[in-house]
Structure 1
Amino acid sequence: MGHSHSHAVRNLSVAFFVNLVFVGIEVAGGLWTNSIAILTDALHDAGDCLALGLAWYLQYLSQRESNARFTYGYRRFSSLGALTTGVVLIVGLGAVAWGASQRLADPQPVRAGGMLVLAILGMAMNGGAAWLLRGGSSLNEKVASWHLLEDMLGWMAVLVGSIVMMATDFYLIDPLLAICIALFVLWNVVRNLFYVGHVFLQGSPHGFDAAEFDKKMLEIPGVISAHHTHTWSLDGERHVFSTHVVMNEGSTRGEIVAAKQAVHTLLRSQQFAHVTIEVELVGEPCMGHDDHDDEHDHDHADGHKH
């Protein structure tokens, strides 16, 4: 795990510096070519640079162990970084889309040849950074690679647009490209923010059905019922699980341990980093009862914890 973390940190740092250098080239090139499409993508790349910088730092931060202040560790900071970056990108893209819409009424000549050179350079640099992050196991690496792949698509659009303008002098295509790129990136950012919001609101990990899991636990020898089953994700990669299982009144210590091990076995298909199993015996009241829970919880109780 330590080697995997250090590998991710190194990859993200390289991708960050590659993107940072190219943002400077892109801003200068956008001003030189007078291309609003280039400047739009420069803003997008700047947002990606911020995302890569946060991902790099948070990947490093996530290696810290839990403490009295953050008992689950620091992994949730990565979701905070994704949320911050997404909001910054939405505001910036809205501003650029507004500026591009003004140019629709007054198209201005651009240096299409310069745009072509920048498009080729952009595809090479972003493609190289995306290749570096390919196959990354961490959520930060995966999200960063998505951003870089989106950059590749944006530069492909600029490449096509520059060729069209070199052949036809149809300069209206420049602000149209800027708006299309902004809308495409906005759609992807909003989609990712929905996922980040799901993590922040402690939604169940993708593919996990708590009700179905309760049914599976009823198949464990000695388990009579299950309730208070809760699960959420720390960062989209590592998840938390807790449940109360009710067992026969005369269950032995060995039977209780075996039931706990069976629950852990059922959870192996997903990345549950923190698992809490409370065992209650029939006839004991459930000390964790909530007024919003089912009435049958009144009959259960606080037992053993794992």
Structure 2
Amino acid sequence: MHDHHHHSASERIGWAFALNLGFTVIEFIGGYLTNSTAIMADAVHDLGDCLAIGSAWLLNKVADKEASQHYSYGYRRFSLLGALINGVVLIVGAIWILSEAIPRLANPQMPNATGMLGLAVLGVAVNGYAAYKLSEGKTLNERMLNWHLLEDVLGWVAILVLSLVLMVVEMPILDPLLSIGFTLFILFNVVKTLLETLRLFLQATPDPALRSQIQADLLGIAQVHDIHHLHLWSLDGEHHVLTVHLLLNQHYAQPELVLLKTDIAAAMAKYQLSHTTIELEFPDEFCRDRVEHSH
């Protein structure tokens, strides 16, 4: 099931890459023909998106590989690396757009509004379809790429509105104003996702509420007196890893321990954890990991 899911993710990212690359070429030509600095700027930004999506596609394919001697947990964290790279590229691109758009407020230029309208309709359709395809994905990588494409959709909507206005009145200053508005909006959302990605990279708990729920379920098992060294972290934002020490309330014989392990497995089944390592400790037993116990 997970393999199929990741194959689908690679397929979705591949489609997004192909659409984006093809349309970037059209943008450069269209921007030159319409004499629109806004479209040329968007074309350069889309080129950056292509590089980001291409790298994410490759990294997502690497994430599908089986665990090896060097990467015993598998390669899923490469997908997280893709999300991190894309976030950085997108932030740099957004800052570049702002640096281009803000000076234009003082000296706006009138582009070819009719040509802009045609390109904008095509831009909304192509990027909208690509964003729709990626919206089916749940990985951080796909979510970050979805912001790339949503940024492009909003940009083309802005250019569409602008071209319609410019057909009626000569107000070229709307071009940089709209560019600044949508870029700031996207920048805010990407920074939020990037911070989440960084947290997962630093092995923070992906969901504190989930950690508390797992802790409560383990403490609810009759034979468990206390728990410590409960660590919950994530490979890629989706596939979580759990390690924990369970201190039992008395000594149990082998058949009873087998039943206990079955109870623990049943309690953890609903969380669909990718890897679990659970240590059983008897009363007064010395704990190897003698660090301050964390609850």
TM-score (norm 2): 0.90
CA drift of 1:15 comes to 1.7
CA drift of 1:210 comes to 3.1
Cross-structure match for 1:14? 15
State which drifts further: 191-200 or 247-256: 247-256
2:117 and 2:163 in contact (8 A); partners too: yes
Distance in 2 of aligned mates of 1:190 and 1:40: 21
Cross-structure match for 1:154? 155
Cross-structure match for 1:223? 224
Cross-structure match for 1:184? 185
Distance in 2 of aligned mates of 1:257 and 1:32: 74
Determine helix, strand or coil for the equivalent of 2:105.
helix
1:246 and 1:282 in contact (8 A); partners too: yes
Determine helix, strand or coil for the equivalent of 1:205.
coil
The number of residues matched between the two structures is 294
Cross-structure match for 1:78? 79
CA drift of 1:162 comes to 1.2
Cross-structure match for 1:250? 251
1:9 and 1:56 in contact (8 A); partners too: yes
Cross-structure match for 2:290? 289
Closer/same/farther in 2, CA of residues 142 and 192 from structure 1, 3 Å limit: closer
Q: Which amino acid aligns with 1:241?
A: L
Distance in 2 of aligned mates of 1:270 and 1:42: 43
Cross-structure match for 1:303? none
1:133 and 1:142 in contact (8 A); partners too: yes
Distance in 1 of aligned mates of 2:129 and 2:286: 60
1:37 and 1:177 in contact (8 A); partners too: no
CA drift of 1:72 comes to 0.8
CA drift of 1:108 comes to 1.1
Q: Which amino acid aligns with 1:179?
A: I
Distance in 2 of aligned mates of 1:175 and 1:181: 10
Distance in 2 of aligned mates of 1:89 and 1:224: 49
Identity percentage of aligned residues: 45
1:214 and 1:227 in contact (8 A); partners too: no
Q: Which amino acid aligns with 2:233?
A: W
Distance in 2 of aligned mates of 1:40 and 1:183: 16
Closer/same/farther in 2, CA of residues 91 and 135 from structure 1, 3 Å limit: closer
Distance in 1 of aligned mates of 2:61 and 2:33: 38
Cross-structure match for 1:262? 263
Distance in 2 of aligned mates of 1:11 and 1:215: 38
CA drift of 1:279 comes to 0.4
Distance in 1 of aligned mates of 2:208 and 2:45: 32
RMSD, matched Cα: 2.2
Cross-structure match for 2:201? 200
Distance in 1 of aligned mates of 2:215 and 2:289: 17
Tell me whether 1:63 sits opposite 2:64 in the alignment. Answer: yes
CA drift of 1:123 comes to 0.9
Determine helix, strand or coil for the equivalent of 1:105.
coil
Determine helix, strand or coil for the equivalent of 2:74.
coil
1:41 and 1:181 in contact (8 A); partners too: no
CA drift of 1:173 comes to 0.6
Cross-structure match for 1:111? 112
Tell me whether 1:232 sits opposite 2:229 in the alignment. Answer: no
Closer/same/farther in 2, CA of residues 228 and 215 from structure 1, 3 Å limit: same
Determine helix, strand or coil for the equivalent of 1:232.
strand
TM-score (norm 1): 0.87
Show CA shifts across 1:52-107 (max 9, x none): 21222122111211112111111101111111121122223212211211111111
Distance in 1 of aligned mates of 2:95 and 2:62: 31
CA drift of 1:138 comes to 4.3
Q: Which amino acid aligns with 1:229?
A: L
Cross-structure match for 2:46? 45
2:117 and 2:164 in contact (8 A); partners too: yes
Cross-structure match for 1:128? 129
